[in-house]
Structure 1
């Protein structure tokens, strides 16, 4: 539970992020804020001090507090990269294993992690909900709901999906062991070994691992760091290659943070429907938007059942519970068969805990607080990177999620940076992890989802010094 001053700081930070308070604008005085928020002057000072430490505001002697103006270098966003023109086999698993296995130490600053801080989630309440639900469980339910999943959880997810504008078939959703199983099953349902799958460039390394395991080839799509896949570029790739399927993350793509606008999603679906190509949609970050409304998934624009939609609770509510789901569209029967043939079922206690939590209410309230916290934390990390990394660094500007894509000056090997940083107790995710042929050598992904870790600022300063050493 956050303190009163942290709640006030988050509220002011959200007004800054939403544009209600502009750079250079004076914040309400301490006295005004005391009256408006019904808090003490000490609480206001603590809140403003916290915002100042995050780099979002600045104090001016005898004048007050002002929204900090962005640094000049903030005008240099991440650049789109030129995708490979040919398809290629995938060989990243060994590299991913080596890099990620070396960052599991709790003493390491987790800038290379794929997960936000576990302190952001209601784990105690989930544990209580799970224990209560298990005590009330009818014994026969342990076997009658094996493959599709728990009926209560499926109904809650079905209702939520409809609220988000999705078409849900009678066999959907299919509960899975996390989003990765959902994505793997959906990919298997629409491909055969040797097929070509179109992906964003760069793309999430777990997607590449799945493609490698299934002996599939990859062709890259032109991808803008701000707005995602280019529909015209997608059409050109389809003309040049026999694409069997696409794997896309339209909402807050990992690692770029790109958000595909609604009009672009509609255009992408027109291209795919015309070509009759299915798309596996990874929407695990869709709930983590920083704005006022959740962006619609690609699935919301699917009129032909061509989108196999996948998501989970791992990034927004229950890391470690390993509960995800799939809406398979016209491929739902095949996805369910593959689930039965592989893992058969998903953990019943985890499903029951989540079903109980969703039925009790409070999920959306939790999400609102989580979004504010992550938005503030990511903005803070971006500011620190711009302050402490060398000239020529470009940084993405995500509208959701908790990742930054950082492009360092040419010639800097971020695999080498990873090794040097790890020796200093800091993890990063080097760019080579995010392509089939280990490109993006001068880029890295940073995790901004650890707002309560006091080591992050010093870690950014150390990374800046290490990068400067590599450029010398």
Structure 2
């Protein structure tokens, strides 16, 4: 505990000096060995400090040169406001807008800032192809037979092994595989609710989750959310007497990208267990952490089997493979029964290939490069937004994940911006998609999972110019 406290103290001290301008942009920082010697800490602890500062985008590493203070464009841009949804259930989807935005999926003539998946250019495609071939050869009957109802044994075992990193202590028999994370979430909601029940969600929230809840006839209560620390626990407490189930994305939620502090995760797990309200945890983005360590999950603090932990490789490895899973705790029998009815079996070859990719260590090797790329992308986006977007723009400070939330001055309607941007071959995700209420019209989500190029920078510049034009037109008309 003493060493951990010292690590935090040193990291916070350097961060404070950067934020207050004591350490200037571009200034070289002490080497890892020098920091180790100066504070009497191990070299590994010193490295961990720099990784933590990198996660906050405060420092950047340069090969053979060391660590330097980052260009801190994002510090000039304030954080988005804490959301303030009304404490009433709603189900008003922006259906036409959703259809319009998601119809752009797969179009190669557009810059797809709107679709929250990584580009194939930053995924290990050739290695995955080899795993598919190997899986075809190794599986009985070439993978044409049904696999066990609970799912591929190798994949479940590797998910359980990986849970040790976040103190989940899962065993392979605790895990049920699914066809992607949305399938896992759907099975959980069908098992736990009936039409007319009420679900509590973060606000803003991933549109797919909102659509799923509405399609199941659920009333949706959106809960106030801070862009750095996540859901407002006091606001959640006030709603709990009316809630049947809670679904949260505590680690790098899209669109805000925050990582809920461990103490808050623990408090939420305890609170919901007290009310006997199940917690469905979507941990799709948990492996995409910019910091030195993978964050814990709400499932880490679950002692009663009340948390249904869901995940996938859709955002980290292969969106189209549809490989997901759930550790459903005490609801396992219900989930298995529903999987039997709705799917019976997952795709044997694909699940075997992903299980082997995890087992050989190739996944962790990929993740190290993948996370660094996304973090650097975020810094590039922040610089571009600072340079090209309208005055008064606010942005989130994601600690991981694939999303960047942008809040414009209120006169800029991002649904209008979406239509104008399409004419310039740019697709964005307007903020109104991330709520069932009348809010976030001046916000948008940008995907940072695209390779950074001069062309991408040019598209952000175009987007900023269009936003400025919309703002000027609105001000002139008033």
- Bigger mean CA deviation after superposition, 379-388 or 178-187: 379-388
What's the TM-score, normalizing by structure 1? 0.84
Check conservation: 2:77, 2:393, Cα contact below 8 A: no
Secondary structure class of the residue paired with 1:308: strand
1:194 aligns with 2:200: no
Alignment length, in residue pairs?
423
Q: Report deviation, 1:23.
A: 3.9
Aligned residue for 2:112, secondary structure, equals coil
Indicate if the aligned counterparts of 2:114 and 2:447 stay in contact, CA closer than 8 A. Answer: yes
Cα separation, partners in 2 of 1:103 and 1:417, compared to 1, 3 Å:
farther
Structure 2 Cα separation of the partners of residues 109 and 235 of structure 1 = 41
> 1:399 offset after TM fit, Å?
0.8
Partner of 1:405 in structure 2?
A: 405
* 1:391-417 deviations in Å (ceiling 9; x for gaps): 111100111112111110012110110
1:159 — aligned with what? 161
Q: 1:302 deviation in Å?
A: 1.1
Would you say 1:446 and 2:478 are equivalent positions?
A: no
How far the C-alpha of 1:289 sits from its partner, in A, is 0.5
Secondary structure in structure 2 of the residue aligned to 1:218: strand
- Distance (Å, rounded) in 1 between the aligned partners of 2:293 and 2:170: 21
Q: Which moved more, 1:100-109 or 1:150-159?
A: 100-109
Go from structure 1 to structure 2 and tell me whether the alpha carbon gap of 1:141 and 1:348 turns closer, same or farther (over 3 Å shift).
Answer: closer
Q: Give the Cα–Cα distance (whole angstroms) in 2 for the partners of residues 230 and 131 of structure 1.
A: 47
Q: Counterpart in 2 of 1:123?
A: 125
5+ residue gaps, structure 2, are: 1-10, 30-56, 61-66, 473-478
Change (3 A) 1:458 1:140: closer
Report matched runs for 1:389-404 at 5 Å: 389-404=389-404
The worse-fitting range, judged by mean Cα deviation, of 224-233 and 157-166 is 157-166
Q: Tell me which residue corresponds to 1:108.
A: 110
Match of 1:24 in 2: 25
Cα deviation, 1:170-217, whole Å, max 9, x if unaligned, reads 643111111110011111111111101000011000001101110111
CA distance in 1, matches of 2:92, 2:296: 30
Alpha-carbon distance between aligned partners in 2 of 1:319 and 1:113, rounded to the nearest angstrom: 11
RMSD: 2.5
Q: Which deviates more, 85-94 or 246-255?
A: 85-94
Please state whether the residue corresponding to 1:89 is helix, strand or coil.
Answer: coil
CA distance in 2, matches of 1:107, 1:72: 30
> In 2, Cα distance between the equivalents of 1:72 and 1:182?
35
1:130–1:356 Cα contact (<8 Å) kept: no
Indicate the SS of the match to 1:199: strand
CA distance in 1 between counterparts of 2:354 and 2:184 reads: 17
The alignment status of 1:422 with 2:406, answered yes or no, reads no
- Aligned match of 2:253: 253
Give per-residue Cα distances to partners, 1:122-151, cap 9 Å, x unaligned.
111111112112112123975452421111
| Cross-structure match for 1:137 | 139
Residues of 1 paired with 2:134 and 2:117: CA distance? 28
In 2, the alpha carbon distance for the partners of 1:332 and 1:168 equals 13
What is aligned with 1:84?
86
Give structure 1 stretches of 5+ with no counterpart.
1-14, 29-53, 58-64
2:131–2:353 contact (8 Å) kept in structure 1: yes
Q: CA 1:326/1:278 → structure 2, altered by over 3 Å: closer, same or farther?
A: same
Q: Which residue of 2 aligns with 1:435?
A: 435
Instruction: Give the alignment of 1:71-470 within 5 angstroms.
Output: 71=73, 74-139=76-141, 142-143=144-145, 145-168=147-170, 171-239=173-241, 241=242, 243-437=243-437, 439-470=439-470
Determine the C-alpha separation between the residues in 2 that align with 1:415 and 1:274: 41
Q: Which moved more, 1:332-341 or 1:81-90?
A: 81-90
Verify the 8 A CA contact 2:390 2:468 in the aligned structure 1.
yes
**Conserved in 2, the CA contact under 8 Å of 1:168 and 1:329?**
no
Contact 1:385 1:460 in 2 (8 A): yes
CA distance 1:141–1:467, change in 2 (3 Å): closer
How far did residue 427 of structure 1 move? 0.9
